[in-house]
Amino acid sequence: MNTEKLKLQVQQRAMDAPNKVPHVLVFPFPGQSHINAMLKLAQLLCLGGLRVTFLNTQHNHDRILRFNDVHSSLSRWPGLSFRAISDGLPAEHPRSLDRFLDIFDSLKANTKQLFREMLISGRSESEPVTCLIADGVMTFTIDVAQEVGIPIIVCRTASACSFWSNLCIPRLIEEGEVPFQGDADMDGAIRLVPGMETFLRRRDLSNFLRAKEHTDRAIQLIMTEALNTCRASSLILNTFEDLEGPILSHIRSRISTIYTIGPIHALLKSKLANSLPSTSTTCTSSSSDLWKVDKTCMTWLDSQTIRKSVLFVSFGSYATVTRDEMFEFWHGLVNSGSPFLWVVRPDSVAGKGEGGHISAELEEATRERGFLVEWAPQEEILAHPAVGGFLTHSGWNSTLESIYAGVPMICWPFFGDQQINSRFVSEVWGVGLDMKDRSCDRETVEKMVRELMEGKREELHKSSDEMTEFARRCIREGGSSYCNLERLIEDIRSTSS
């Protein structure tokens, strides 16, 4: 069937059923943080009266089924359904950070065509998809949407500051500021990202820019996906105006329609808490964890009687450390004297390495004031009154959750948007310390933890409390994120009809 005929059929179906509930298909990139944010977005749309299909890759769909009660979730969310699509990779592929280009290549080479066929075959269903919301790092979905004739909105799950810096890459290349290799002066100033001229350094840009040539595949990927995002009619961002307003003004020069609806996790909780009793008893936030959550750590947290005394440690869903680095962190945490709750994923330690043995003293000190867990309910932990600090990889979900909970951070970023997030945490928002590119030897870790939990405790908590109030204000009725969500839902209704 040719493209024009297909478009006419889609348009005719929309005209024939103007009063039907819009059907939105939400398609995240197959990574834990992307899935988390976009599933919460899907649930917000359901609360707004829309029908939503959440599309995962088959690999991640199977993992979610293994570790979460999806069937119970479906019964609580009658407007939400789940579908799966192949990512084109063999079952044994690790889908790990060091192989992330494989994922992008396969999505474009294999999933794109399957996605197109899914939308075409769905046009004959009683409730065909009337709007797409796709992850902003999978802009091949824009091509498919335009071909099939379905409106598309792009959602970026990373920070606005990261997205804006990626949009500026062409100019940075043209002026010779990027790429740069690891032996360059990493504290050298970057002057060509508007809004960041006074504080941005080489080390604060994505680690993907630490390459020999601008033709490097990773550089080309993040630049191309950012530029292609501007082809969409509108953009959803998981941020809020009081947090990234100055940067958002620059992005609006490239994309006129932007819906800032963050922090999404907090907006969803607020909407659920304030919904009608009949709704609140059936709808609760659904989990999309790719690992089994161990809630025994909450009992341990309850036993900590001193407020804000515990350091929470988690490096997210992708980052890995060597065995040597793990032991240095472990000794540093123990030596700091602070109680700590540490998430150590089963796949988080890379390589063999010597790393030393677990001494009797280390084991005893950990039993006295530490708790290790493979995967944990992060939002609950950060909201716990015993938690007073967060040693984090600076992923955007973690950053927003920490800001909303009023928990200061130590940032030790790994890749992507995390480098620039950590700079904004320390230099712009003043809600944490940046440990970027520092050696993670035990002395450094101990010093940074003591500075966060003792030396700068009052100063950082004061700044965090102020930023938390901004975040809470934006999700209340009449707040910027609250209103932007309402506008998004109405625009979807209008576009779909």
Are 490 and 447 found together in one domain?
no
Same domain, yes or no, for 339 and 223? no
pLDDT of residue 132: 97
Whether residues 112 and 201 fall in one domain: yes
Active site residue 34: yes
What is the rounded distance in angstroms from the CA atom of residue 274 to the CA atom of residue 277?
9
Query: Domain limits at 131?
Result: 3-288+475-496
Residues 215 and 336 in one domain: no
pLDDT value for 14: 43
Q: Walk along the chain (497 residues) and give the pLDDT tens digit of each residue.
A: 454 554 454 445 444 445 689 999 999 999 989 999 999 999 999 999 999 999 999 998 988 888 776 666 666 788 999 999 999 999 999 888 778 899 999 999 999 999 999 999 988 787 899 999 999 999 999 999 999 999 999 999 999 999 999 999 999 999 999 998 777 899 999 999 999 999 999 999 999 999 889 999 999 999 999 999 999 989 999 999 999 999 999 999 999 999 999 999 999 999 999 875 544 444 555 566 666 888 999 999 999 999 999 999 999 887 888 888 888 999 999 999 999 999 998 887 876 444 456 677 788 888 888 999 999 999 999 999 999 999 999 999 999 999 999 999 999 998 889 999 999 999 999 999 999 988 789 999 999 999 999 989 999 999 999 999 999 999 999 999 999 999 999 999 998 87
Same domain for 458 and 383: yes
Statement to judge: residues 397 and 267 lie in one domain: no
Q: How far apart are CA 79 and CA 124, in angstroms?
A: 20
| Pair 260, 224 in one domain | yes
CATH of the domain at 43: 3.40.50.2000
The predicted pLDDT at position 358 comes to 66
Q: How far is CA 114 from CA 106, 120, 279, 392, 399, in A?
A: 11, 10, 35, 37, 34
Q: Look at residues 292, 301, 154 and name the one whose alpha carbon lies nearest to residue 233.
A: 154
pLDDT computed for residue 1 by the predictor: 46
Q: How many domains does the chain have?
A: 2
171 and 26 in a common domain: yes
183 plus 318 within the same structural domain = no
Residues 273 and 386 both lie in one domain: no
Catalytic residue among 23, 34, 59, 61: 34
C-alpha closest to that of 457 among 293, 245, 279, 311: 311
Residue 135 is a catalytic residue: yes
Are residues 279 and 307 located together in one domain of the fold? Answer: no
pLDDT of amino acid 366: 86
Does the model's pTM come out above 0.85? yes
If asked whether residues 320 and 268 sit together in one domain, one would say: no
- Which pLDDT score is estimated for 76? 77
Query: Pick the catalytic residue: 135, 204, 289, 434?
Result: 135
Looking at residue 49, what is its pLDDT? 95
